[in-house]
C-alpha cells in the first residue's frame, strides 16, 4: 500500500514539474514577440540627428536598416541622413521579429537670428522607459540635464534618457546661444512591477486579465471596469479589444458583453497589452484570448 502511495505521489510531482517546464517554455518562446522600439521623430531635417532605441524583452541581436543602404547593429544610436526624402526604417530583432517606421527627411533650412531654441519632449513617461528629448533650433553645443543625476547627461541635440525613479523632474537645456537654461517639466510614473526581471506589459496584461475574469464570474462590474479604465486605459472607453484575433470591440462594449454571457462559461486565457508610443503610460490596444463553452 505504501509503495502505491509513493508511486502516486511521484506521478503527481512529475506531472506538476512537467507543467511548469511547459509553461516556462511557452512564455519564453512565444510570449515575447512584440518589438518595443522607438525613433525620436517621424519628421526631421537633413543633417539633423535621428535617435533610435530598442527595449524589446530578451533582445540580443539588432539590425537597423535606414532605407538607403546604411545599417546599424546597435541597440540604440543616432543617424544622420545625407539626403532628403521619405525613408522606411526596419528593425529586425534576434533575426526574427521586425518593426518598421517611416521618416520624412526634409531639406535643410536656415533659421534667422530671431528664432528661439525649444525643447520637444513628452510631459509624461514611465519609469525605466526610454524618453526622447529633442532640441529644436540651430546651435553648435547642446547640454542636457534631466534633473535626476545633477550632472550634464547628454551633449547631443537629440538625447534619449531613462529615469530610474518615479517623480516630477525639471529638465534643463543649455546652448551657446541661450543666456539661461530652457526648462521642461516631465512627470515619471512608476512602472507596474516589483521585480525588475519581469516584463512590465506582461504584468499589466495579467492584472487586466484578472479584472476581466472577475466580470465574467459575476463579481461587481463597476469596481473591476473602473480599475482598468483609470489605471491602464487613461479613462478611454474606446480602446480597441481584439478577441481571439478574429472579432473586435471597444473596451466598454466588450466588458458589457462579458457581463451578460448567461449560461456560457468563459475563461480569459491571456491579455496582451500594446502601449501608446506617444503616451506610453496609456494602453492603446488589448489582444484577448478567451475560451467559451456552454455551461452545464
282, pLDDT greater than 90: no
The residue out of 87, 108, 129 marking a domain boundary is: 108
Residues 72 and 131 in one domain: no
Residues 187 and 269 in one domain: no
Residues 7 and 59 in one domain: no
For 84, list phi and psi in degrees, rounded to 5. Answer: -75, 165
Q: Quote the domain boundaries for residue 266.
A: 200-294
User: Rounded CA gap, 11 and 7, in Å?
Assistant: 6
Residues 6 or more apart whose CB falls under 8 angstroms from that of 116 comprise: 137
Residues 209 and 287 in one domain: yes
Q: For residues 259 and 272, which has the higher predicted lDDT (pLDDT)? A: 272
Number of domains in the chain: 4
Q: Give the pLDDT confidence of 161-197 residue by residue, as tens digits.
A: 889 888 899 999 998 878 888 999 998 888 654 444 3
4, pLDDT greater than 60: no
Residues 208 and 274 in one domain: yes
Residues 286 and 206 in one domain: yes
Residues 75 and 140 in one domain: no
Q: Give the pLDDT confidence of 36-93 residue by residue, as tens digits.
A: 888 887 878 888 888 888 888 888 899 999 999 999 999 889 999 988 888 999 999 9
Following DSSP, what letter does each residue of 9-42 receive, concatenated?
A: HHHHHHHHHHHHHHHHHHHHHHS-----EEES-S
Residues 234 and 253 in one domain: yes
Residues 104 and 114 in one domain: no
pLDDT at position 38:
81
pLDDT at position 212:
94
**Joined grid coordinates for residue 118:** 525649444
For the entire predicted model, the pTM comes to: 0.36
User: Rounded CA gap, 139 and 105, in Å?
Assistant: 19
Gap between the terminal Cα atoms of the chain:
37
CB 131 within 8 A of CB 159: no
What percentage of the chain carries pLDDT values higher than 70? 80
Q: Where residue 139 sits, what CATH number does that domain have?
A: 2.60.40.10
Instruction: Give the mean pLDDT of 121-129.
Output: 82
131 pLDDT band (50/70/90 cuts)?
confident
CB 207 within 8 A of CB 253: no
Q: Where residue 283 sits, what CATH number does that domain have?
A: 3.10.450
Residue (of 195, 198, 207) closest to 272 by Cα position: 207
The residue out of 191, 216, 234 marking a domain boundary is: 191
**Strand order from edge to edge, sheet including 97-106:** 43-45, 97-106, 85-93, 62-65, 71-72
Residue (of 40, 177, 41, 49) closest to 115 by Cα position: 177
Residues 276 and 290 in one domain: yes
pLDDT at position 2:
54
The residue out of 158, 191, 224 marking a domain boundary is: 191
Amino acid at each position: 500500500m505504501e509503495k502505491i502511495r509513493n508511486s502516486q505521489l511521484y506521478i503527481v510531482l512529475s506531472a506538476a514539474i512537467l507543467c511548469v517546464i511547459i509553461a516556462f517554455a511557452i512564455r519564453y518562446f512565444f510570449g515575447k514577440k512584440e518589438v518595443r522600439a522607438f525613433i525620436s521623430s517621424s519628421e526631421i531635417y537633413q543633417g539633423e540627428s535621428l535617435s533610435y532605441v530598442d527595449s524589446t524583452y530578451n533582445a540580443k541581436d539588432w539590425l537597423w536598416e535606414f532605407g538607403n543602404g546604411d545599417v546599424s547593429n546597435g541597440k540604440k544610436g543616432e543617424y544622420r541622413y545625407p539626403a532628403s526624402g521619405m525613408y522606411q526604417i526596419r528593425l529586425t530583432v534576434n533575426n526574427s521579429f521586425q518593426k518598421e517606421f517611416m521618416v520624412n527627411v526634409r531639406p535643410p533650412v536656415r533659421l534667422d537670428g530671431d528664432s528661439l531654441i525649444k525643447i520637444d519632449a513628452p510631459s509624461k513617461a514611465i519609469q525605466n522607459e526610454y524618453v526622447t528629448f529633442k532640441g529644436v533650433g540651430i546651435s553648435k553645443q547642446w547640454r542636457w540635464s534631466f534633473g535626476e543625476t545633477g550632472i550634464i547627461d547628454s551633449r547631443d541635440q537629440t538625447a534619449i534618457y531613462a529615469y530610474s525613479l518615479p517623480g516630477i523632474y525639471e529638465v534643463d537645456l543649455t546652448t551657446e546661444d541661450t543666456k539661461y537654461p530652457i526648462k521642461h517639466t516631465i512627470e515619471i510614473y512608476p512602472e507596474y512591477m516589483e521585480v525588475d526581471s519581469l516584463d512590465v506589459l506582461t504584468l499589466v496584461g495579467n492584472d487586466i486579465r484578472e479584472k476581466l475574469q472577475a466580470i465574467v464570474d459575476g463579481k461587481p462590474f463597476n469596481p473591476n471596469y473602473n480599475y482598468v479604465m483609470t489605471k491602464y486605459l487613461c479613462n478611454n472607453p474606446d480602446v480597441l479589444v481584439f478577441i481571439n484575433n478574429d472579432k473586435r470591440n471597444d473596451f466598454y462594449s466588450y466588458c458589457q458583453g462579458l457581463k451578460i454571457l448567461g449560461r456560457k462559461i468563459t475563461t480569459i486565457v491571456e491579455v496582451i497589452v500594446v502601449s501608446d508610443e506617444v503616451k506610453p503610460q496609456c494602453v492603446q490596444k488589448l489582444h484577448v484570448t478567451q475560451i467559451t463553452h456552454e455551461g452545464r
